[in-house]
């Protein structure tokens, strides 16, 4: 009888502690991710200072020995070889085989290259815009359409901005509903730039 009482107490305590431990693990993973992104921000600043260019992918920093591979892997990312590589495979599959877009290491942070952003948009809206981003963490967003990685989604995400800051934004589904017009590239571009509702609608409609 006493053993059953002890077992009951242990199970009760486990039920109380489990959510606390999960929340603690989540906070630790979020802290680790922010540290990674801050290290990538420092590497990006040095790279841009050396070359005058925006790194279109964290792979550019790794290949140029500005950052180690380890800072490109997030504990929040539950995919095998990284959301960044998954995005690259799915986006570039629409254009044919582009293996150079997929990193040779686990990449949790898709950048402009992984999302297949046109150079015209980067030149016009990003490279001289200190509030624009070049890399994002979308490990916490929810896919509303399982057939396309990020074409339609909702939730909060982190954006690494060219001024070195890490910002938290919430996806605005009004621009990302299947009936809202535009294509995946246009919708995904809003992960990296801010703008008024009117500007976003014009962008989607092609008035850019």
pLDDT digits (tens, 9 = 90+) for 47-93: 999 999 999 999 999 999 999 999 999 999 989 999 999 888 877 76
Q: Determine the pLDDT at residue 176.
A: 45
pLDDT band of 7, cuts 50, 70, 90: low
State pLDDT tens for residues 100-113.
678 999 999 999 99
In 3D space, the residue among 155, 136, 156, 152 whose CA is nearest the CA of residue 144 turns out to be 152
Q: Which of 191, 39, 202 has its CA nearest to residue 115?
A: 191
Q: Does the structure show a pLDDT above 80 at 158?
A: yes
pLDDT bin (cut points 50, 70, 90) of residue 173 is low
Would you state the pLDDT for residue 72? Answer: 96
Structural domain including 36 reads 1-207
User: In the chain, what's the furthest Cα-to-Cα distance?
Assistant: 76
Pseudo-torsion of CA 162, 163, 168, 173, nearest 10°? Answer: -40
pTM: 0.79
The pLDDT of residue 97: 57
Residue 129: band (very low, low, confident or very high) from pLDDT cuts 50, 70, 90: confident
10-52 confidence digits (pLDDT tens) = 566 556 655 655 556 667 778 889 999 999 999 999 999 999 9
Number of domains in the chain: 1
State phi, psi for 160 to the nearest 5 degrees: -90, 115
pLDDT of residue 24: 64
């Amino acid at each position: 009888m006493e053993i059953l009482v002890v077992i009951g107490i242990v199970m009760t305590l486990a039920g109380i502690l489990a959510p606390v431990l999960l929340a603690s693990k989540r906070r630790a993973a979020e802290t680790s991710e922010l540290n990674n992104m801050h290290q990538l921000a420092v590497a990006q600043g040095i790279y841009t200072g050396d070359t005058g260019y925006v790194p279109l992918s964290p792979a550019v920093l790794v290949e140029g020995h500005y950052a180690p591979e380890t800072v490109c892997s997030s504990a929040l990312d539950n995919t095998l070889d990284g959301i960044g590589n998954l995005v690259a495979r799915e986006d570039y599959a629409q254009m044919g085989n582009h293996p150079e877009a997929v990193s040779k290491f686990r990449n949790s942070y898709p950048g402009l290259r992984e999302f297949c952003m046109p150079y015209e948009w980067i030149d016009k809206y990003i490279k001289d815009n200190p509030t624009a981003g070049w890399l994002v963490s979308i490990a916490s967003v929810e896919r509303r359409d399982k057939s396309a990685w990020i074409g339609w989604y909702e939730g909060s995400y982190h954006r690494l901005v060219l001024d070195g800051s890490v910002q938290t934004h919430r996806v605005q589904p009004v621009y990302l509903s299947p009936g809202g017009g535009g294509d995946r590239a246009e919708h995904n571009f809003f992960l990296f730039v801010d703008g008024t509702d009117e500007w976003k609608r014009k962008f989607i409609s092609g008035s850019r």
